[in-house]
Structure 1
Amino acid sequence: MIKLTRLAVQGDTTLLLTFSDGTAAPWSAGALIARDTVMTRPLADPAYFARAFIEGGALAWPNGFELSADALHQRLEASGALVRDAA
């Protein structure tokens, strides 16, 4: 099972995600934020977006919104964005 191992804020709506298989990619939450739901609306605030953290290997925010590392990994892999860490 793929898990997130690190994240770094790279902009108002972008995170650099590193996964347990040694791959990493920038991920933009722009499309997710554009849905403008009760759970995603707070992410439009850059200060709140930057409060992202890893909980149980998943991407999470303080309001309880979580995204599966597996789903994120699959989307990033399908888009060709994942890069294996050379280290």
Structure 2
Amino acid sequence: TPVAVIISQCEYLLENENLSAEDKEEITVILRQAKRMSKLTSEMLMIARNEQGEQHLMEKLDFGLLSELVIEELQTKAQEKNIE
């Protein structure tokens, strides 16, 4: 899938020792977002299949982990605006 290509290219780029720390950080952000997009796409596909009558087990959701991911995503924006 296109998202899988983004993930693999980011992982490949992160293996490059010549990248600056800033570049690696930016690529890591892209990689993290691509992985989230992949997970969301999978979940939407599972829901669509379920609505069509196909039986699939729903996976358990860890709200603690979800909260940590949201905090991590918003932390950078908050720091840019000097919000603690």
Report the TM-score when normalising by structure 1. 0.28
- Structure having the higher helix fraction is 2
- Structure having the higher strand fraction is 1
- Bigger Rg, structure 1 or 2: 2
Report the TM-score when normalising by structure 2. 0.29
Structure with larger RCO (C-alpha < 8 A, sep 6+): 1
